[in-house]
Copies of this chain bind each other. A is one copy, B any other.
Amino acid sequence: MKTHILSIDCPDQKGIVHHITGVLFRHGLNVVSNGEHVDHEAGRFFMRTEFEGEQAQLPSLGELKSVLPAEHNLRLVEKRKKNIVIMVSKEPHCLGDLLIRHAFDALQANILAVVGNHDRLQPLVEKFGIPYHFITHEGKERAQHEAEIMQVLDGYAPEYVVLAKYMRVLSEAVVARYKHRMVNIHHSFLPAFIGANPYRQAYERGVKIIGATAHLVTTDLDEGPIIAQSVIPVDHTHSARDMSQAGADVEKNVLSKALKLVLDDRVHVHGNRTVIFD
């Protein structure tokens, strides 16, 4: 007996749940959980169904598609650990959290490798027996640097790429190749700060909250569909450096939460929004 996850989005119309669950019922499959959402503004229907059954009981994609309106998206995946590659620069907090979870089987993923444009985190990664690829950007055109990264990434054929404080902008070509399969974490502030050194700006502005946002990467930098957000309180006693450290803690927690949702196929994307069945 295996568990599968069926993810659907399509134009909303009457009877979809009835028809889809009918296919599963006729195949004798046991629905473990079912989540549905209708975006009434967009007129779009979203569904995530987790069901158990023998491999032989699985309906064909054709049978499932035949009960859906045209212009649907449908994905049927087995529930299992996903293969991921993590990209980093110099900051250890997000990577460290993922490595510890991975080492104790608390991450629904196999970390195939870590790729970094600095070598600071290499010893940490190698302690855990995971390959580290140090691909410096120094002295290289962006195109060349990215080509080297892509060669390594593609070699691992990861299902998801996690940007765990990878601090360089990725070009459209890279982002497009991992569309909706690349997760990023970045600091967020109320109000927002544009430009260099946002923690310094946040300090100078006297903010009382430091936040973090995990999102899927699109070609708009730091602007893809949001998966998870959280904040942590700060006050006037926090220096810019203290704020940065507080931000690191919330980044770590938010990335971990977002990744859990992504790895369990709970995140649907429509336009720039997410529908998350948690």
Q: Could you tell me the dominant secondary structure of chain A's interface residues?
A: mixed
Contact of A190 among B32, B211, B227, B245 (CB under 8 A): B211
- Is A76 among interface residues, defined by CB-CB distance under 8 A? no
Q: Is the CB of A237 within 8 A of B273?
A: no
Min C-beta distance of A80 to chain B, whole Å: 18
When distances are taken between beta carbons in the complex, the residues of chain B under 8 Å from A22 are 18, 22
When distances are taken between beta carbons in the complex, the residues of chain B under 8 Å from A83 are none
Contact of A237 among B24, B30, B37, B191 (CB under 8 A): B37
A250-272 interface code vs B (CB 8 A; 1 in, 0 out): 00010010000000000000001
Q: Is the CB of A21 within 8 A of B32?
A: no
Most chain B CB within a 10 A radius of its CB, from A14, A124, A272, A276: A14
Q: Is the CB of A235 within 8 A of B276?
A: yes
Q: Which of A218-243 contact B (CB under 8 A)?
A: 222-223, 225-231, 235-237, 239
- Is A143 among interface residues, defined by CB-CB distance under 8 A? no
Q: Is the CB of A273 within 8 A of B204?
A: yes
Min C-beta distance of A223 to chain B, whole Å: 8
Number of interface residues of A (CB under 8 A): 70
Considering only CB atoms, which chain B residue lies closest to A257 in the complex?
B249
Considering only CB atoms, which chain B residue lies closest to A240 in the complex?
B41
- Is A208 among interface residues, defined by CB-CB distance under 8 A? yes
Min C-beta distance of A78 to chain B, whole Å: 20
Most chain B CB within a 10 A radius of its CB, from A30, A92, A191: A191
Q: Is the CB of A226 within 8 A of B207?
A: yes
Instruction: Give the CA-CA distance A278 to B35 in the complex, in Å.
Output: 12
When distances are taken between beta carbons in the complex, the residues of chain B under 8 Å from A24 are 18
When distances are taken between beta carbons in the complex, the residues of chain B under 8 Å from A127 are 127-128
25 A-B contacts (beta carbon < 8 Å): A14-B25, A14-B31, A17-B31, A18-B21, A32-B38, A32-B40, A33-B237, A36-B36, A96-B97, A97-B97, A100-B124, A190-B192, A190-B213, A191-B213, A191-B223, A204-B272, A204-B273, A205-B272, A206-B225, A206-B274, A207-B226, A207-B229, A209-B211, A231-B231, A237-B278
Interface residues in chain A, defined as those with a beta carbon under 8 Å from any beta carbon in chain B:
14-15, 17-18, 21-22, 24-25, 28-41, 92-93, 96-97, 99-100, 103-104, 106, 124, 127-128, 188-192, 204-209, 211, 213, 222-223, 225-231, 235-237, 239, 245, 249, 253, 256, 272-276, 278
